[in-house]
Each structure stands twice: as structure tokens, then as C-alpha cells.
Amino acid sequence: MAEEKIVIGAGTKYPLNGMLTLPEERNGLFPAVVLVQGSGPSNMDEQIGENRPFRDIAEGMSRKGIAVVRYDKRTFVYGKQMKDDPGMSVKEETVDDAILAAEFLRNDARIDENRIFIIGHSQGGMLAPRIDAEGGNFAGLIIMAGSPRKLEEIIMHQNHMLLNSLNRFLRFIVKKQVNGLASKFENIYDLSDEEAKSAKVIGKYMRAYYFKEMGEYPTVQYLREMDKPVLILQGEKDVQSSLEKDFGGYQEILSGKSNVTFKLYPNLNHLFMPAVYGNLLKIKKEYKVPQHVDQQVIKDISDWILSV
């Protein structure tokens, strides 16, 4: 395995440091993958606590003969400049850079331009179909712990899960906050873009426009119309993505589509690592335990890519 330091978006306003991981042995052109992180600022390894799932995936897949590109997320590098932009959306945060990463691979003479795939994790998985449609033009999509739901639905579901886990006294206090957040989400699609850009939903910087813009490009619509290969994966002990509403939601929406493959992993969490606590309240504590992406997951993805 060889690693080459790269820059995604060189010459643009937001160049991003990245890494191209290549197999040692070369028998013709390499198939390749672009890794797309989940929500929030994240480095190229998608480091969460003591875990680096994207580094695990990149190294593991390169040993299987697949080249992998990963890069720092734009909000990780330029978050201070971007947080004050009321029009900031997932397009600037994630979509545009993933498309640039795909173009980077197509311009590398060692890569098979017809066998470039995308792996999106969590929110990156939700956005993978849109990234493909807006210029990624991938040979296939791998969605890890994604969701067919809208982002605000996921946030409210997680809030209600936390609410139900609290004692009666805390529940009474927190319920008002949860209801207040729900009321902010109620009419975001009735707002004009300008109104949505001025309406703050979470904290000082998270505006209604971020949710509205993402929700107006529903992942479900792309997937229903798609005929290229799609692999959808989830850990059974994932407390951030719902087994019923997310993995089950994909199965219900895409039932009967022969281009879609589903895989569920017992005892794995949101990072596709062994679950430690299996509790949303203890998720930060769980991610402080150093672990690695399960080797079976890496094998299954690699085998699937090499079979396409």
C-alpha cells in the first residue's frame, strides 16, 4: 500500500488536504473510491473520539486492490469563515468537494475512470445519490449508516429518544426545549430562501436554510430513479441511525429493485465498529474507546466493488 498526499480543489477558494491510498500491486488500472464524511467538521480520517474509520477503510480497501481518496471536510478547515454565511448548505459543505474528488481520480492515469465509486457515511450516505446526480457520475454507490429521511426528522427522532431515556424531572425540563426545536422545523419549507437564511434553528449559526436546501433534494427520489448498483449497510447496534426507520426505510422504499443490495451487521455501531454501550447518551464515551472498522465490512465492500 502506498499513500500520496494530495489536494482536492487546488486553485479554488477552498483547497483541501487529502490522501490517495493506492494498492501495492498494479495489474492494469485501479478501481477507486471517494470517501464522504458524515455531519459536522471532520478531518480526512473522519476521526471521532479515538476512532478513525476512514483511515481504516482506505488502508483496508487498498490491500484489496482498490484506490481510495479521502480529504478534510471543508467545514473542518474553513469553518470559521463559513459559519457566518447564511446561505451555507450541504452543497458548499460536502457535495461540491466530493465531485471535485471524483474529477481528481478521473484525471489520474492509474485509475479506471469507469470504475469510480462513492462511499458515503451517515450524512455523507444521505448525500451520495445527490453527489452522483450533480456530477459525481459514479459506477456505484455505497451508503453506510445513511437515511432516507430528512435531516430534521432524524434530529427530532434522536431528541425524542434522549428525552425518553431521562428521569421524570429532567424530562419535564428538556421537553420544552425539544418542543421549541420542533416548532422551528414545522414551517421551514414554507419560508422563502431569504427568510430561511435569517431564521436560526440550532445555536448561533445553524439556519433553517441549511435544512430547507437539503430537504429539497430528497435522497429517496434519486434512489428510486437510479439503476446503477447500490450497496446499503448498517450496524445492528447503531443508535444514531434507526434500524427500523433508516435501514428498514431503505428496504421498504427500494423493495423490488434488483440493483440494490442490503447488508446488516450484528453488534456493530454507527462507525461499523463493535458496540460498547449501545446507548445514545453514552455515545461520546463509546467513541473514546479506540477500535477499528470491522474487517468483514471492508471485505464485503471490496468484494462488491470488484464484482461490479
Domain residue extents for the chain: 2-150+218-307, 151-207
Q: Which three cell numbers stand for residue 6?
A: 494530495
The pTM assigned to this predicted structure is: 0.94
Question: What is d(CA 259, CA 129) in angstroms, rounded to the nearest whole number?
Answer: 14
**Active centre residues (catalytic):** 122, 238, 270
Is the separation of the CB atoms in 307 and 117 below 8 Å? no
Q: What DSSP designation does 135 have? A: I
Which position has the grid cell 429493485?
257
- Mapped onto helix, strand or coil, the DSSP state of residue 289 is coil
Per-residue pLDDT of the chain (308 residues; tens, 9 = 90+): 799 999 999 999 999 999 999 999 877 899 999 999 999 999 999 999 999 999 999 999 999 999 999 999 999 999 988 988 999 999 999 999 999 999 999 999 999 999 999 999 999 999 999 999 999 999 999 999 999 999 999 999 888 877 777 777 787 777 888 888 888 898 899 999 999 999 988 887 789 999 999 999 999 999 999 999 999 999 999 999 999 999 999 999 999 999 999 999 999 999 999 999 988 889 999 999 999 999 999 999 999 999 99
Question: What is d(CA 13, CA 76) in angstroms, rounded to the nearest whole number?
Answer: 15
Q: Which three cell numbers stand for residue 124?
A: 455523507
Tell me the CATH number for domain 2-150+218-307. Answer: 3.40.50.1820
Q: Which three cell numbers stand for residue 103?
A: 474529477
Q: Which three cell numbers stand for residue 25?
A: 500491486
